[in-house]
A and B are shown apart, each in its own frame.
Chain A
Amino acid sequence: MTFEIGIMTFGELTEDFATGAVPSPRQRVRETIEQAKLADDVGLDIFGVGEHHRSDFVGSAPAILLAAAAMRTERIRLTSSVTVLSSEDPIRVWEQFATIDLLSAGRAEIIAGRGSYTESFPLFGYDLRDYAELFREKLDLLLKIRDRNPLTWQGRFRSPLVNADIAPRADGDTIPIWVGVGGSPASAVSTGRLGLPMALALLLGPLSSHRETVELYREAAAQTGHDAAALPISINAHGYVGSTSQQARDVMYPYFAQGMLDNNHQRGEGFYLSRPTFDVQSSPGAGLLVGSSQEVVDKLLTYHQLYGLNRAILQVGFGGMPQKQHLEAIERLGTEVAPIVRREVAAREEKAA
């Protein structure tokens, strides 16, 4: 498998601490499509949009943003990152992504997640107490829709389907469905048992923190009779590619700290990430993909070696980074980082073979 590198965004609508300006939603959706276009132009492999239902994000309908991106791009794959499947209608999800697949000539993907944000549950009339059960059932339905048509299916959370004709179908053979995993062993085991590709989210902490998760995933896959070595794994982590190590940190830090304050609650309040803490989280053994091109290359290769990765998705701009700096990181990732990582990984795999 060739190593794939991409970017993802939530479409933040956060006040810029430096200027006090909040981008208008109209500006932000256009900027999001511009990011996808540049990522495609510089040869990145994947573009992802996350799903959040709050006014500090513009990405509540990733499928629509991805459909717009499909019309402005040629080669890049387009994925949700993630679709909060537990509070979604799997039929609607399939129909939307199959449509993106047609618009993009077969470039659509889905990362299904349980969701680390919970706003969507009350919004769509779901009970958080059914968190695990909802995901299991809806994932089962989504996979069955993908694999056969018409479909007869029965579950707990909706009326049964009898010979349901669900259209359109995928542009090619199929649409890849990944499962987003935050690192809990049970998620890794159940994803492995299903033989689905796993997208690992890593926020802060050592870059080795998912070692056990990956091990459990491969064990579970092998025990269920899947070819564990052939299953793709992706790492999704925050980062920024700067002109120098220092510049990358200086640009990323204030926005990322703002994002943590707005989104990562501890003791009922935002969690303030101090600069020294951020710098530790940017050190060679920690998970953040921030630094010069060379630094990000080294870190991606470490990740690859550690987990046997096939894909890395860099989340740029968390906390509302202005478009100019955001685009600069995308450009460096595509032109300076991706070619070297792909080459090194190919050489490693050749050696192993």
Chain B
Amino acid sequence: MTTTITSTVSEGGTAAGAASAAGTARPEQPNGATLRVVVVNGSPNQPSKTMGLVDAVVGTLKGMLPVQMSQIDVYRLGPGFTGAIERDDITAETTPDVEAALRLAEQADLLIAATPVFRGSYPGLFKHFFDLVDQYALANKLVLLVATGGSERHTLALDHALRPLFAFFQSMTVPVAFFASAGDFDGTVLLNPRVYGRIEMGLTDVVDLLRTRASGTSK
């Protein structure tokens, strides 16, 4: 995937004073830490426009600091997940994959909540995942909101459906959320440069905070 957007690298100072440099090597963290990013993907499709937009977000993020990304596809977690009524139904013995997925999300440095907008909101399975997540595990956690929809008429689902969900968890939700509609994609590849511009801006806002939260070890 080619983009015309250059990576922005902060040089030990404010994000606002970031120097723009094309094709810069991945910046090293002072403490060598990596940001552990976990994507909770609410799309049933493989590949999907939702993950196409996430790829653009994570691609931009990788130009700013070392990133280690994991992905949870809620539609692929299976009957042990869909049949669970409460968290206690999920155990390391009976449903190890689901247990691992929930823990991964609970322990992320940055959680990306990414979903298509279905019928005015996120799909039920996406909500079901967060119904099983520990009630206090996401408090003060950095959460980034990403959504795709058939048209721009669905943009506000970000703020009217997704944001209140993470307000309940008392998460630290990134102020700028990202939305792209069907016309911004060729297949599942995001083409619209304006969306790239918004991603660049939204991530630059919080890059310093992301650095301080990075807790992974770089290989």
Contacts and interface: CB of A to CB of B under 8 A. Distances in A.
Q: Are both chains from one complex?
A: yes
Interface of A: 131-133, 136, 183-187, 189-190, 216, 219, 223
B58 interface: no
A186 B183 contact: yes
B168 interface: no
Contacts of B185: 132, 186
Contacts of A133: 187
Contacts of A185: 183-184, 191-192, 194
- Report, nearest first, the 6 A-B pairs whose CB atoms are least far apart: A184-B183, A132-B187, A186-B191, A185-B192, A189-B191, A186-B186
Contact of B183 (A136, A187, A219): A187
Interface in B175-217: 182-187, 190-194
A219 B186 contact: no
Contacts of B184: 184-186
A219 B186 CA distance: 17
Contacts of B192: 185-186, 189, 216
Contacts of B186: 132, 136, 186-187, 189-190
20 contacts: A131-B187, A132-B186, A132-B187, A136-B186, A184-B182, A184-B183, A185-B184, A185-B191, A185-B192, A185-B194, A186-B183, A186-B184, A186-B185, A186-B186, A186-B191, A187-B183, A189-B192, A189-B193, A219-B193, A223-B4
Contacts of A136: 186-187
Given A132-B186, A186-B192, A216-B192, 7 more contacts: A132-B187, A185-B183, A187-B186, A189-B186, A189-B192, A219-B193, A223-B4
Interface string B107-143: 0000000000000000000000000000000000000
B153 to A, nearest CB: 13
A204 to B, nearest CB: 15
Nearest to B2: A193
Contacts of B4: 223
Q: Identify which of A132, A183, A184, A185 gathers the most chain B CB atoms within 10 Å of its CB.
A: A185
A196 to B, nearest CB: 14
A185 B184 CA distance: 5
Nearest to B195: A185
Contacts of A190: 186, 191
A186 B192 CA distance: 6
Contacts of B194: 185
A223 B191 CA distance: 13
Nearest to A223: B4
B151 to A, nearest CB: 10
A185 B187 CA distance: 13
B188 to A, nearest CB: 8
A184 B183 CA distance: 4
B123 to A, nearest CB: 19
A183 B193 CA distance: 15
Q: Identify which of B182, B187, B193, B194 gathers the most chain A CB atoms within 10 Å of its CB.
A: B187
Nearest to A185: B192
A184 B191 CA distance: 10
A189 B186 CA distance: 9
Contacts of B190: 186
